[in-house]
Amino acid sequence: MDADGDMNWRFVQHDIRKTPLPFRNEEFSLIMVKDLSMTLSTKDNTQALIDEYLRILKPGGILEIWDGDHTIRMLLSHSPPATKENDTSSQARKQIQTNAMGAYTITPQTPLAAPQNQYLIDYNTWISKALEARDLPPMPCTSIRPMLLQEAEVLEQIESRRLAIPLSEVRWEREGVGGFATSTNGLHGSKGKAKEGDRKQLTPGQTRSSQNRTHEHYSND
């Protein structure tokens, strides 16, 4: 398809497992890679694809990688990170946006456990076996950041953000007990502030089986 008169874009259909990618060196200032964990098996050469991303990314450009773990876990009762009234830092803005979405920031200290719902237990067993049979990773989020950190000599401002999204009402927020099944989602920071009490509830359309997502954001030197 030819480029639009008002926008410089075109559609390219390509098997991403085949390198090199059909683009020129330093062609893009922004590359978004989303939900490709079921495309590349653990036997594929992931490093070759990362090298291709860096080849076609302009100096100073941005690469965003969004993906999700395919098993569902339970988020236990805990105190979410607090935000100060006058804190205007990037991290504070991200936390404010997370609160407004009804989501929860995942950190190394966030308490997670296996779900207790039998349907979710069965689902986790099924999806894990199905992915293992196809050499696909059930929890790709654990490997994305370490993979990018290996490129620290080329990359700068490597950031990672993981959010937990409840599949139903958060019982321990109301009663102070229990836990709930969650997923996570990548998120950009935004201006504005929402108090902890303003946390929104998810709509029925949002309370679907979801994924543990990570958002990797970095720039080229």
**pLDDT single digits (tens) 167-221:** 776 665 555 544 455 554 443 322 222 334 444 444 443 333 333 344 433 334 4
Q: Let me know if residue 9 belongs to a domain.
A: no
Residue indicated by tokens 């700068």 = 156
Q: Let me know if residue 81 belongs to a domain.
A: yes
Say yes or no to pLDDT of 59 above 90.
yes
Contacts of residue 40, defined as CB under 8 A and 6 or more positions apart, other chains included, come to: 16, 17, 46, 49
Average pLDDT of span 51-78: 89
CA 65 centroid distance within chain: 7
Among 181, 220, 211, 165, which residue's Cα sits nearest to residue 66? 211
* Number of domain units in the chain: 1
Residue 151's identity, in one-letter code, is E
Q: Let me know if residue 8 belongs to a domain.
A: no
Residue 110's identity, in one-letter code, is T
Q: How far apart are CA 190 and CA 96, in angstroms?
A: 8
Answer yes or no: pTM beyond 0.95: no
Q: Let me know if residue 20 belongs to a domain.
A: no
* Segments forming the whole domain that contains residue 181: 28-220
Q: Let me know if residue 11 belongs to a domain.
A: no
13-25 CB burial, b ≥16 within 10 A, e <16: eeeeeeeebeeee
Q: Let me know if residue 136 belongs to a domain.
A: yes
Q: Let me know if residue 202 belongs to a domain.
A: yes
Higher-pLDDT residue of 42, 174: 42
Q: Let me know if residue 181 belongs to a domain.
A: yes
Q: How far apart are CA 15 and CA 74, in angstroms?
A: 35
